[in-house]
């Protein structure tokens, strides 16, 4: 009986750890959940950024540049729609424009290279007009309350060599380069 209780306690503990590991990334902190205004779309923000000044929103996209200013770090982001996990989509063609995310504390721009996917929980602070190629662009600005940086690791397909008969497949003989990726 004593060993049974220990066994079930261990199984319960491992199950709790696995479930905690599967819970995902929390993009919006609990203290900000009630303040986030989900009714503001990015296209609405682009049309009238000053109308939403002081509102907390969640937008994401791909970092185009990050630079250190005197008292803050400015991140230029190409907006991308967010999926149900609040992670930016992969397709750049779905972008509706650009925005600036301002981190008021020190943030090393080297930690956000161009191409990094981010989700920003921020407060709309207004609009900044800056040059963009041969014209100017009105960038809505967000003061960052929470910045989520997404891993650049993408899922890959695993291919196994033919035939699938032991011991001629698996990591014992691989990996093998193939036309569609590595075989393991």
What are the structural domains of the chain? 28-149 (2.40.50.140), 154-184 (no CATH)
Q: Is the backbone of residue 12 left (phi > 0), alpha (psi -120 to 50) or beta? A: alpha
Question: pLDDT for 86-99, tens place per residue?
Answer: 999 999 999 999 99
What does the pLDDT read at residue 9? 46
pTM score: 0.70
pLDDT in tens, 4-34: 554 444 444 444 444 444 445 689 989 889 9
3-class secondary structure for 50-89? Answer: HHHCCCEEEEEEEEEEEEECCCCEEEEEEEECECCCCCEC
Instruction: Encode pLDDT of 117-163 as tens digits.
Output: 999 999 999 999 999 999 999 999 999 999 999 987 654 454 555 55
Phi, psi values for residue 20, rounded to 5°: -65, -35
């Amino acid at each position: 009986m004593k060993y049974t209780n220990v066994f079930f306690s261990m199984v319960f503990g491992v199950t709790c750890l696995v479930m905690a590991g599967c819970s995902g990334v929390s993009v919006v902190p609990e203290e900000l959940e009630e303040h986030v205004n989900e009714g503001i779309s990015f296209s609405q923000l682009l049309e009238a950024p000053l109308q939403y000044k002081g509102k907390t929103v969640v937008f994401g996209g791909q970092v185009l540049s990050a630079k250190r200013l005197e008292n803050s770090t400015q991140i230029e982001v190409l907006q991308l729609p967010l999926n149900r996990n609040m992670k930016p989509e992969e397709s750049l063609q779905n972008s509706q424009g650009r925005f600036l995310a301002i981190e008021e504390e020190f943030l090393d721009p080297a930690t956000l290279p161009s191409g990094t996917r981010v989700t920003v929980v921020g407060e709309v602070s207004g609009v900044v007009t800056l040059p963009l190629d041969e014209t100017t662009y009105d960038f809505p600005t967000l003061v960052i309350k929470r910045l989520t940086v997404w891993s650049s690791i993408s899922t890959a397909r695993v291919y196994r060599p033919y035939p699938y008969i032991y011991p001629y497949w698996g990591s014992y003989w691989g990996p093998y380069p193939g036309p569609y990726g590595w075989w393991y």
